[in-house]
Structure 1
Amino acid sequence: MYGTHPEEIAALLEAVGDAAMVLSFREDRAFAALSVGRFGAVGSARLDWAGAEVIERCESFDADELRRLVASCARTDELAVVFWSNLAVPSVALPAALVAVQAEAVLACSPECWIYLVDSGVLIEFQDGEGFTAGRVPH
């Protein structure tokens, strides 16, 4: 069930405090419909980027690379929504700048995650051990 394991994101929430909002199931599904839901799937936890405008792919999969990607793709004061591969872990909305600052904590929550930059319409996919893909969400 959605959001039944918030302990998985406890370190991230502690680090960012009131700047993050844990999303309800309805909020999660609304943001998903605008982002990850517009992609097909490859396997159970990968997006199919065919037909999407890929901005960058990189094989690095560490916090420094996530910081760099967020800095290059996000607008100033942009809202970011972080989705995890396990729906039992609730999604969070927070400023993109905090995603960059807390990149280690974000990546420690799950071996796969997606970061939707709301204003710019960019999605960053993280697959542990494989790297990042950043691209525009198809319309």
Structure 2
Amino acid sequence: MSVDKMYGTHPEVITPLLDAVGEAAMVLSFREDRTFAALSVGRFGAVGSTRLDWAGAEVIERCDSFDAEELHRLVASYAGADELAVVLWSNLAVPSVALPAALVALQAEAVLECSPECWIYLVDGGVLIEFQDGEGFTAGRIPR
């Protein structure tokens, strides 16, 4: 099965998040996902299969905490007012979601329950927050 046909085949994974945020979220098509990925996670090298290589990028903050409170704090700290956030998951079978960053902060627990790895791309500020369950968060500027 090709990647584009596999993309989004398990939307039930994000149902709790979508229920929590309502119509404020937009589930992205494969093309939209790939466009946002190219502007964010695609600008990093990889370490293993799902970790980003932050070498050469401006790391703003690393933290060992990996809970909803920490994600809430990070998004609230680095997102601008009315900023768009795109949540990309480590599994392409789960469709990416675009929504206001303020809702990502408020629904941080629902975001983290969807996958053991994800990236939150703060579109206006060019900041990416990487989440690796059990390892914490890294926030940094996306290389140009």
TM-score (ref. length: structure 2): 0.96
- Identify the residue that residue 72 of structure 1 maps to in structure 2: 77
CA–CA distance in 1 between the matches of 2:72 and 2:39?
Answer: 23
Q: Are 1:60 and 2:71 an aligned pair?
A: no
From 106, 117, 124, give the equivalent of 1:101: 106
- Identify the residue that residue 3 of structure 2 maps to in structure 1: none
Query: Shift of the alpha carbon at 1:14?
Result: 0.5
Query: Where does 1:1-139 land on structure 2 (aligned, <5 Å)?
Result: 1-139=6-144
CA–CA distance in 2 between the matches of 1:71 and 1:9?
Answer: 22
Identity, % of aligned positions: 86
CA–CA distance in 2 between the matches of 1:67 and 1:37?
Answer: 24
Query: Shift of the alpha carbon at 1:54?
Result: 0.1
Note the aligned Cα RMSD (angstroms).
0.3
TM-score (ref. length: structure 1): 1.00
The one-letter code sitting in structure 1 at the alignment partner of 2:45 is: G
Query: Shift of the alpha carbon at 1:5?
Result: 0.2
Aligned-partner SS, 1:18: helix
The one-letter code sitting in structure 1 at the alignment partner of 2:86 is: V
Aligned-partner SS, 2:46: strand
Aligned-partner SS, 1:13: helix
Unaligned runs of 5+ in 1: none
Aligned-partner SS, 2:119: strand
The one-letter code sitting in structure 2 at the alignment partner of 1:41 is: A
Question: Which 4+ residue blocks in structure 1 deviate beyond 4 angstroms?
Answer: none
CA–CA distance in 2 between the matches of 1:87 and 1:12?
Answer: 17
The one-letter code sitting in structure 1 at the alignment partner of 2:115 is: S
Unaligned runs of 5+ in 2: 1-5
Query: Shift of the alpha carbon at 1:103?
Result: 0.3
